[in-house]
Amino acid sequence: MNKNTKIALTLLAVMGLAGIFLTGVALHPALATTDFCVSCHEMEAPLAEYQQSAHFSSASGVRAECSSCHVTEGFGPTLYDKIDALRHVYGHFTSSIDTDEKYEASRLRMAERVWADMKEHDSRECRSCHNQEGFEFDKFQSHSSAKRMSKGLDDGKTCIDCHKGLVHTMPDMTSGYKAIQNELITASTDPDIETGIVFPLETVIGYPKKEGNRESRILGGTRLTVLDNEGKWLKVRVDGWKQDGVDAMIYELQGKRIFSVALDISARNKSTIHSTMFDEDTEQTWHKVSYEAWVSNQGLIEDETKLWEYGEKLHSGNCGSCHMAVPANHFLANQWIGVMKDMKRNIRHLSKEQYRFLQKYLQLNAKDVKETSH
């Protein structure tokens, strides 16, 4: 590229930026009105939701317009939002959400994008109207709500962590993990195992041979090392820990009640002990062990990233629909067992397998689990 070409390209870039700048300045007032925002028919549903919210009508008479939440103050951020909004223009002309069915199918994806952006910028759109320093918590109608909000702000939480669905209908939070679950089920139904590591999506049965009676139940999310592949049957190894005197269970980690394998009586002496240690904190003896068994190749997942994305969606979809989802690293691995039991009444729509998988995901990402690939 010669010198004259570089100069020409630089001038074109400067002129382009200047054009964007002047266009943004000239059109911002017209493009920031609610009438403009809802001028496309795709906006009929969100407009109706907005008109039923306190952001549209309230005792104080203060009304938040569409731009109050969706266009950031300041020329630079505003211009960025306007350029980013070209996605919506493209979506309009490609009819990506031009029916109620398409809109509902995309509602969670669109909401999560907005939530993530607001969280990243500390809910700056909310704070343009709501001054944190101006809250008088003693005037809240609910003392418990005031206490939770005050503590959340003190802990560095941001508005959108708790205040979802205030203006627009909450999306079906289960749709995210159901979509990934369907992908995983499809991938595991007719697998072609090519790697040396697989994970059961749900509990699978362990056998001493390719045929025979059950000797164990290997729980979902347990890492299996493939030792032999004979098509529909795999010989696998589980590496884990057994507590001295507790022969029926193999745990993922020493001292952590993260369940990997439930052993039937016939297999309780089958695991190989590689080393032994005494935990002075709990005065318990633990054995590092491995256990081998044959399993069907059905229900096994090779894509570990997708598997734990499923766990993350289970967490956010079930624990973030009523309140802010408590981060997995908020509790210790063993504490999560009690927390899950306490919350079980609120997640009745989960199957037993989904419940166990969610618990394992949270435990593997707990505060005291440091060295793990999950």
Per-residue pLDDT tens digits for 247-297? 999 999 999 999 999 999 999 999 999 999 999 988 999 999 999 999 999
Q: Which tokens hold the place of 164?
A: 């979802």
Percent above pLDDT 70 for the chain: 88
Residue entry with tokens 């998988």: 357
Instruction: Name the more confident of 186 and 153.
Output: 186
Considering all CA atoms of the chain, what is the largest pairwise distance in Å, rounded to the nearest integer?
82
pLDDT at position 328: 92
pLDDT at position 43: 83
Q: How many CB atoms within 10 Å of residue 134?
A: 6
pTM assigned to the model: 0.73
Q: How many CB atoms within 10 Å of residue 108?
A: 19
- Whether the pLDDT of residue 20 is over 60: the answer is no
pLDDT at position 374: 46
Q: Could you tell me the pLDDT band of residue 345, with boundaries at 50, 70 and 90?
A: confident
Q: How far is CA 29 from the centre of its chain?
A: 37
Averaged pLDDT for residues 112-127: 87
Long-range contacts of 31-37 (CB under 8 A, 24+ apart): 31/82, 32/65, 32/67, 32/71, 33/65, 33/67, 34/65, 34/66, 34/67, 37/66, 37/67, 37/70
pLDDT at position 373: 45
Instruction: Name the more confident of 32 and 263.
Output: 263
pLDDT at position 109: 86
What beta strand segments (E) does 244-307 contain?
Answer: 249-253, 256-263, 272-279, 284-296, 300-301
- Measured distance CA(258)–CA(252) in Å, rounded: 5
Crossing angle of the two packed helices 75-84 and 3-31, in degrees rounded to 10: 90
Q: DSSP character for 223?
A: -
- Whether the pLDDT of residue 17 is over 60: the answer is no
CB 350 within 8 A of CB 202: no
Instruction: Name the more confident of 262 and 112.
Output: 262
- Measured distance CA(108)–CA(316) in Å, rounded: 12
Helices (H), 57-142: 66-70, 75-84, 86-93, 100-120, 124-127
Tens of pLDDT along 315-339? 988 886 666 778 899 899 999 999 9
Residue entry with tokens 């005031």: 146
Averaged pLDDT for residues 201-221: 94
- Measured distance CA(247)–CA(245) in Å, rounded: 6
Please tell me the least confidently modeled range out of 14-23, 290-299, 351-360, 364-373: 14-23
Mean pLDDT (the chain, rounded): 85
Query: Which residues have C-beta within 8 Å of that of residue 230, sequence separation ≥ 6?
Result: 210
- Three-state secondary structure call for residue 112: helix
Query: Which residues have C-beta within 8 Å of that of residue 190, sequence separation ≥ 6?
Result: none
pLDDT at position 265: 96
Percent above pLDDT 90 for the chain: 40
Counting every residue written for the chain, the total comes to 374
pLDDT at position 198: 96
Averaged pLDDT for residues 78-101: 81
- Whether the pLDDT of residue 24 is over 60: the answer is no
Averaged pLDDT for residues 298-325: 87
Averaged pLDDT for residues 207-226: 94
- Residue 250 β-bridge partners: 261
CB 272 within 8 A of CB 253: no
